[in-house]
């Protein structure tokens, strides 16, 4: 039996005001993030919900979406938005290499309420045809 005291820090309250409806929220897919690639964009280690992600073809891990696919082949195609905020637990590359997340891939998104640095572009909207942007 392990009775050690454990301290856990939680990120500030979740802001999912970017969700336009509850539709699709119960159908999010589990994904694994390449933490180092997210730390380059979010140096605090906290990746906000609503961030657009793409899947790296070679590894199957998810990275921040970019039109040019600068995070690896496959990341030039948007897969969806992170459903919840992810705390990578560190601010230095190499501290943690992977993190679990949930992919919101269909439903409704209020574009004006997406977080800063969300990565949504006109090309990403084409890829995310099952999401309605209002």
Which of 8-12, 65-69, 94-98 shows the lowest mean pLDDT across its residues?
8-12
130 pLDDT above the threshold of 70: yes
CB 59 within 8 A of CB 71: no
What is the tally of structural domains in the chain? 1
Q: Is residue 65 part of a domain?
A: yes
Please check whether residue 11 lies inside any domain of the structure.
no
Range of the domain at 46: 31-133
Token pair 């977080």 in the structure block, residue: 115
Summarize pLDDT for 111-128 with one digit per residue, the tens. 999 999 899 999 999 999
pLDDT, one tens digit per residue, over 41-78 is: 898 889 999 999 999 999 999 999 999 888 888 899 99
12: in domain:
no
In a domain, 15, yes or no: no
Residue 58 lies in a domain: yes
Angstrom distance (rounded) from CA 116 to CA 101: 19
Within a domain: 120: yes
Query: pTM to 2 decimals?
Result: 0.86
Please report, for the domain that includes residue 77, its CATH number. Answer: 2.40.300.10
pLDDT beyond 90 at 13:
no
């Amino acid at each position: 039996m392990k009775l050690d005291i454990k301290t856990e820090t939680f990120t500030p309250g979740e802001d999912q005001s970017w969700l336009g409806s509850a539709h699709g929220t119960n159908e999010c897919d589990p994904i694994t993030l390449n933490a180092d690639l997210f730390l380059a964009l979010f140096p605090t280690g906290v990746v906000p919900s609503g961030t657009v992600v793409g899947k790296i073809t070679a590894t199957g891990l998810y990275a921040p979406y970019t039109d040019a696919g600068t995070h690896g082949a496959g990341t030039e195609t948007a897969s969806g938005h992170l459903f919840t905020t992810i705390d990578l637990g560190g601010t230095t590359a190499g501290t943690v290499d992977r993190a679990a997340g949930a992919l919101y891939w269909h439903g409704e998104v209020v574009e004006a309420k997406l977080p800063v640095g969300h990565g949504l572009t006109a090309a990403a909207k084409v890829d995310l045809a099952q999401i309605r942007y209002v």
